[in-house]
């Protein structure tokens, strides 16, 4: 087992991944001191609010964990420099949105926040620090982080005690709405890296609640790609069953019966076979488009076209549902009252990013409909 002793952890990014993940680690590892830092003061204030109903994100069970750990060994702060300099291990859990301009716009990931975080780590870290990618990132991002740490370190080190870094990939496999259960009872924990001591140090933390056989260790690039591939495969299943739903409507078949019939095949399984308005959220579309961009970058246009079609069909499904509503209401919804039940992108979350309900509602409003929207969160 690793000779590296971890006492203090810093997580850069207090969002949908960083907050819940660090909360569970703090709960399972009471001897570790964990600081979650973010430049967004309003978000940090919400994490520190005494009223647990005001936490910046909603996840079933999160409030109970926060009540046990916050102020004990879990702290939320905007003090970036001190939190980094004190840490033995640093997680980077920041946004990686799709680029809106420049090379790769509309497909490639914007890694500005990742780069900024890496430069902060290189500037303020002391001694040996394990840097962990928690955000979903393009393959080979770890190499860029290594170069940033190495270059920035040389620029700022001069009269300081020598700094060293090792970089690991430890992608999250959370589903919003079930994040706490996913963290406490994961299907697997994936760790990619080259330095065995650093890998062992992270494995030791997870062994506090995750069975050893569920911890998978790979090289850096396999770990980075596995996260993108997992999201792509899940989104693919949603688009696949939605394509079958259109067949069912055209032929008189029942999509729920078809889903049950194929889902009982052990080779297929019954997860992600519920037809509906398509996938939303901050991950699936972004990650597939990133995979499309990377496929083109590495000279694999056929692969790019294959995965791009998953997104195309998802958009088509939302447009199809809007047209079905229009057809059922005799070709016009102008002045008609329509209820929208649920506005977040899925159940048990308050996240509306890329929610199918937004596009469908927007199309109905363009037609003159009067909407009443309800969502419990």
Q: Is the pLDDT of residue 28 over 60?
A: yes
Which pLDDT value is given to residue 262? 97
pLDDT in tens, 269-286: 999 999 999 999 888 999
pLDDT (average), residues 284-309: 97
Residue with tokens 């300081």: 160
Which pLDDT value is given to residue 154? 59
Percent of the chain residues past pLDDT 70, beyond the cut:
97
Which pLDDT value is given to residue 226? 97
283 catalytic per annotation = yes
How long, in residues, is the chain?
377
Which pLDDT value is given to residue 364? 95
Nearest to 223 by CA among 135, 94, 93, 292: 135
* Mean pLDDT, the chain, whole residue set: 95
| Number of alpha carbons in the 13 Å side-chain half-sphere of residue 222 | 9
Which pLDDT value is given to residue 152? 63
pLDDT in tens, 339-368: 999 998 888 888 898 899 999 999 999 999
pLDDT (average), residues 230-252: 97
Query: 255 near 248, Cβ under 8 Å?
Result: yes
Q: Is the pLDDT of residue 155 over 60?
A: no
Q: Is the pLDDT of residue 259 over 90?
A: yes
pLDDT (average), residues 53-82: 97
Q: What is the CATH number of domain 238-374?
A: 3.40.50.720
Dihedral-angle region of residue 336 (phi above 0 means left; psi in -120 to 50 means alpha; beta otherwise): beta
8-218 matches 238-374 in fold = yes
What are the residue boundaries of the structural domains of the chain, listed by start? 8-218, 238-374
Instruction: Identify the CATH assignment for 8-218 out of 3.40.190.10, 3.40.50.150, 3.30.9.10, 3.40.50.720.
Output: 3.40.50.720
């Amino acid at each position: 087992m690793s000779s590296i002793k971890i006492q203090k952890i810093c997580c850069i990014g207090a969002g949908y991944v960083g907050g819940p993940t660090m909360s569970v680690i703090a709960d399972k590892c009471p001897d570790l001191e964990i600081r979650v830092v973010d430049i967004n003061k309003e978000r940090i204030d919400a994490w520190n609010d005494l009223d647990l109903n005001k936490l910046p994100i909603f996840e079933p069970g999160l409030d109970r964990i926060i009540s046990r750990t916050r102020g004990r060994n879990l702290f939320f702060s905007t003090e970036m420099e001190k939190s980094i300099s004190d840490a033995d291990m640093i997680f980077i859990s920041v946004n990686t949105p799709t680029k809106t301009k420049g090379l790769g716009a509309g497909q490639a990931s914007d890694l500005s926040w990742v780069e900024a975080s890496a430069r902060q780590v290189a500037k303020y870290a002391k001694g040996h620090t394990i840097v962990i990618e928690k955000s979903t990132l393009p393959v080979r991002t770890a190499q860029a982080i290594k170069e940033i740490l190495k270059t920035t370190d040389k620029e700022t080190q001069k009269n300081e005690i020598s700094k060293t870094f090792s970089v690991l990939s430890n992608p999250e496999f959370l589903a919003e709405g079930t994040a706490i259960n996913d963290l406490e009872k994961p299907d697997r924990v994936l760790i990619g890296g080259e330095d065995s001591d650093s890998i062992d140090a992270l494995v030791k933390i997870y062994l506090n609640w995750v069975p050893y056989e569920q911890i998978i260790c790979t090289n850096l690039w396999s770990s980075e790609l596995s996260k993108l591939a997992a999201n792509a495969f899940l989104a693919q299943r949603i688009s696949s069953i939605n394509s079958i739903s259109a067949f069912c409507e055209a032929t008189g078949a029942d999509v729920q019966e078809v889903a049950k019939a194929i889902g009982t095949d052990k080779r297929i399984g019954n997860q992600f076979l519920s037809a509906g308005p398509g996938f939303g959220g901050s991950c699936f579309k972004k990650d597939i488009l990133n995979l499309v961009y990377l496929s083109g970058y590495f000279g694999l246009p056929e692969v790019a076209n294959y995965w791009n079609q998953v997104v195309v069909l998802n958009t088509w499904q939302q447009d199809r549902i809007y047209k079905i509503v229009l057809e059922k209401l005799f070709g016009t919804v102008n002045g008609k009252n329509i209820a929208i039940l649920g506005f977040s992108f899925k159940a048990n979350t308050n996240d509306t990013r890329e929610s199918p309900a937004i596009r469908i509602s927007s199309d109905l409003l363009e037609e003159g409909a009067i909407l009443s929207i309800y969502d419990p969160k």
